[in-house]
Amino acid sequence: MLKTEDFIKISDYKYKHTLNNAVIYIDDIANVESESLKQLINVSKLPGLVGDAIAMPDIHWGYGFPIGCVACTNYNENGIISPGGIGFDINCGVRLIRTNLKHTEIQKYKEKILDELFKEVPAGLSSESDIRLSKNDFKKAILKGVNWALEEDYANKNDINFIEDNGFKKDCTFDYISKEAIDRGKNQLGTLGSGNHFLELQIVDEIYDEYIANKLNLFKDQVVLMIHCGSRGFGHQIATDFINLMLKVMESKYKIKVEDKQLACVPANSDEGQKYIYSMNLAANFAFINRQIITYKIRKVFKKILNIKEVEIVYDISHNMATIEDYFYNSKKYKLVMHRKGATRALPPYHPSLPKEYQEIGQPVLIPGDMGRYSFVLVGTETAYKETFGHTCHGAGRIKSRSQAKKTINYQELMKELEAKGISIRAASKATVVEEAPQAYKDALNVVDIVHNANISKKVAKLRPIGVVKG
């Protein structure tokens, strides 16, 4: 088993493996489980890797790649693409929505708001939407991304400016999508799903940088909402289908050997690699529409209960995705396959991908914590662009598996603890609440302090949950 001593400290918040191209941003390497470090080393041995395989402080064991990992491969020189480096929930991501309300203005309406949100936004493992599309209409919608939502009045024109990639991946097709994927996804647009996905009613609890917060139109005691979900069964089936395909051709056709079969991969520019990329992008479009419809439902609830129309997107960002990007590394230009598995883009100020409103401050980085403590808003930095290919952490990171949480956490006691903190819960399943208890996660404050102190992103605001909708 891998030993933490195999990593040497090269700065206060950064360790590097002594033999392999693997680094981790952490305050103490002893706090990282050896299984996830072993996965990081396995990733560092993948064909075509450029630079290091990079782990963030929220690292934990995952499928093939550890969760909290960035790995970039050389697209033009048989660098691989691996579904395990994206995850089963393709374009799982976070959207932050702001209102112009203060905490005191909604306190007496909170329970009613949560009741309506729980009614409007289906949650749970097999939850289905009230938006029903034929297979043909479903295909047309997903091919357009959030542009479809705009056409159907689920979005405002201004929304698109504040969604990563404007909510649309153009390089996509249904040519390689299985019937099972379509059947699983067709009735799930506008649903949360289960597991760690949520819709939270939050309060801006603390501002760390007044100037940047003002640029984001965030202020203390403000009511905001955070959505965390992805591509549901549609993305899961696409990942499953392509992992099975790559396992068949990886060695026989491309002579690729990996340390772990869960790292199944092919050259990104191969036939199978291209088919996966176009299919992955389709799942990304699904996730963008999914979060957009949930936003539409949130607006509907706030209009109904408080007659409030000013419900606007701060930003929408993915943390399970691969993108093909031009990038200068060690003064050489590469076309990279950027795998981000539980990692968030942290683009610096004046990056061309940013909306004009955020050019001066850098890209908003949205970090969900746990339902009992806090979440965070950060922004990207130049250091991240130089050291981590423009990435940072994505969340708190688990310290207890779901089965461990169920064995050690009592539902009734947990609910009392949350109630004492003024946090109300609406959930489709008691089991999910226990699995997602605060005790199952690292302290998100420690995680964001590490990336802040390492200067790969900068803290802007802390958000406190007052109401949670879960599957």
Query: At which residue do the structure tokens 């996730």 appear?
Result: 287
Q: φ, ψ for residue 208 (rounded to 5)? A: -95, -30
The number of beta carbons lying within 10 Å of the beta carbon of residue 223 is: 26
The answer to whether residues 72 and 50 touch, using CB atoms and an 8 Å cutoff, is yes
Please list the alpha-helical segments (H only) found in 307-438: 382-387, 402-408, 411-420, 430-435
Catalytic residue set: 394
Q: How far is CA 270 from CA 84, 273, 279, in A?
A: 17, 5, 14
The answer to whether residues 313 and 163 touch, using CB atoms and an 8 Å cutoff, is yes
- Measured between alpha carbons, how far apart are the two ends of the chain, in Å? 36
The answer to whether residues 368 and 438 touch, using CB atoms and an 8 Å cutoff, is no
The answer to whether residues 182 and 171 touch, using CB atoms and an 8 Å cutoff, is no
Q: How far is CA 107 from CA 53, 121, 427, in A?
A: 46, 21, 20
The answer to whether residues 367 and 376 touch, using CB atoms and an 8 Å cutoff, is yes
| Dist CA 70 CA 346 (whole Å) | 12
Could you tell me which of 423, 368, 430 has the C-alpha nearest to residue 227?
Answer: 368
Label residue 83 exposed, middle or buried (CB < 10 Å: 0-12, 13-18, 19+).
Answer: buried
Instruction: Give the SS3 label for residue 380.
Output: coil
* Beta strand residue intervals within 12-85, DSSP E: 14-17, 22-24, 53-60, 67-74, 80-81
| Dist CA 45 CA 416 (whole Å) | 47
The residue type of 33 is: E
